[in-house]
A and B are shown apart, each in its own frame.
Chain A
């Protein structure tokens, strides 16, 4: 496959762009693979990519029931940060953030990583103390964050109202190297790189059953026929429970709908990402000029990728006090994704009760930022049977009461 470069653009410009190749192949499934990954979203493709890159395992198929990156990978608000409280989370999210720094070069695909900085606003005394604590924890974990005062917040975000009547801005947790990336490009870039290594990415191929013999996985049934494998990776976010049931085990996961929306595009007005967890909203401005806004999940199990209308109102109402100027903006569009929530709001990267099956799920409301780290760790887990990054995220933590409690640390959507 030809490399993308400035030279390639010039070459193609000279011949009316007739020479561009398809970024990835669309083959028919083979009879058998060493590894099958179910789910061609960011996490699944990253897992396949690092299996090939770090461990030389390239006889891999990535199965996708819809189209590549059409689930939560293409539905999130693209925020990247690693300012978590617990050590295990900080390790895997910081691994991911650092991989984002060089991802475009690594994949030879521009993922538009924009380390514009992320502020998490402290709008109550409780939050001030909470984020100061996180900043200290991050210093020990080697994650660069700092707690900043309201004046600095105002300087970074001129459109913010720091002395609102209900929720004044008392400070913020600032991660300078956090930011955003182009979510589709992350999936596309990994897919192209995987295809280049000889892996098969098979879209419109829904898994309908998981076959095992003597407690060991032997393959899957799909809408494109049966496919055998030695190892199976389940990386399907909101549908993890459905897939686990096919394989005969249960996961401590509930699937909820999480929404996001964008405003009409406006001139550049905010060049950082702002998260306001007390009022429950987060906002950034896309390169197209839309204000990208996210809020909270629905409160009940839901597979519809829609979400309840009143959550849009709640989210926007909350943000209007802090950002008065957005009150005049029109909403352009709104969408939902199915997020897989665990009890402690931390992911599961683990061997499954069935031999040869590995699960990567439970990223809940904050999976996009973790894609490269999650794929890196999951690949190591699948190739070697263990990984330092996944040790704490095993399924056994629920029976052992050994939680990685980010629901308290992050408060809300993260």
Chain B
């Protein structure tokens, strides 16, 4: 069972306490954007077999949204972090690079690249 550490209330919450919120760090495209950008924003999602960054909500707990870095292939959790950032903290990226050399995700590159 998936267990994520809520960075806000500090609880190690298991899956039934949490709600998955999909891909993290999406950039919103609204009025004035091209059709392609809007389609991408609405429907195209990262779907990697490996390192993935997601939004999660501690719904049956403190209720706060946060971010998590996970491996979709092994279900290993690399770490969780605040929702108030535009990309994962460098420290976490380094930790992932140590475990999954050469990983990349959307506009983020692993540190050894």
Contact = CB atoms under 8 A, between A and B. Distances in A.
Interface of A: 239, 241-242, 250-255, 299-304, 308-310, 342-343, 398-399
Contact of A250 (B20, B44, B49): B44
Nearest to A403: B43
A252 B20 contact: no
26 contacts: A239-B49, A241-B47, A250-B44, A251-B44, A252-B44, A254-B22, A254-B45, A255-B47, A299-B20, A300-B2, A300-B54, A300-B70, A301-B52, A301-B54, A302-B72, A303-B49, A303-B72, A303-B73, A304-B73, A304-B75, A308-B1, A308-B15, A310-B1, A343-B43, A398-B39, A399-B35
Interface string B54-93: 1000000000000000101111000000000000000000
Contact of A252 (B2, B43, B48, B73): B43
Contacts of B16: 310
> Most A CB atoms within 10 A — which of B36, B43, B54?
B43
Contacts of A309: 1
Nearest to B47: A241
Contacts, number: 57
A239 B16 CA distance: 27
Contacts of A241: 47-49
Contact of A399 (B19, B36, B73): B36
B32 to A, nearest CB: 17
B19 A299 contact: yes
Contacts of A342: 43
Contacts of B72: 255, 301-304
B54 to A, nearest CB: 7
A304 B2 CA distance: 13
B1 A252 contact: no
Given A300-B54, A308-B15, A398 B47 contact: no
A296 B47 CA distance: 19
Given A251-B47, A342-B43, 8 more contacts: A242-B47, A252-B45, A300-B70, A301-B54, A303-B49, A310-B1, A310-B16, A398-B42
Contacts of A299: 19-20
Given A308-B15, A310-B16, A399 B75 contact: no
A196 B43 CA distance: 41
Interface of B: 1-2, 15-16, 19-20, 22, 35-36, 39, 42-45, 47-49, 52, 54, 70, 72-75
Contact of B75 (A250, A302, A310): A302
A308 B48 CA distance: 19
Contacts of A255: 47, 49, 72
B2 to A, nearest CB: 7
A12 B29 CA distance: 67
B46 to A, nearest CB: 8
A255 B46 CA distance: 10
A251 to B, nearest CB: 8
Contacts of B15: 308, 310
B89 to A, nearest CB: 21
Contacts of B45: 252-254
Given A242-B49, A310-B15, A398 B20 contact: no
A184 to B, nearest CB: 25
Given A343-B42, A398-B39, A301 B47 contact: yes
A251 B43 CA distance: 9
Given A299-B20, A304-B73, A399-B39, A253 B47 contact: yes
A398 B1 CA distance: 34
Listed from nearest, the 6 A-B pairs whose CB atoms lie closest are A241-B47, A252-B43, A300-B20, A299-B20, A399-B39, A301-B72
B39 to A, nearest CB: 4
B13 to A, nearest CB: 13
Contacts of B74: 304
B69 to A, nearest CB: 12
A304 to B, nearest CB: 6
Contacts of A252: 39, 43-45
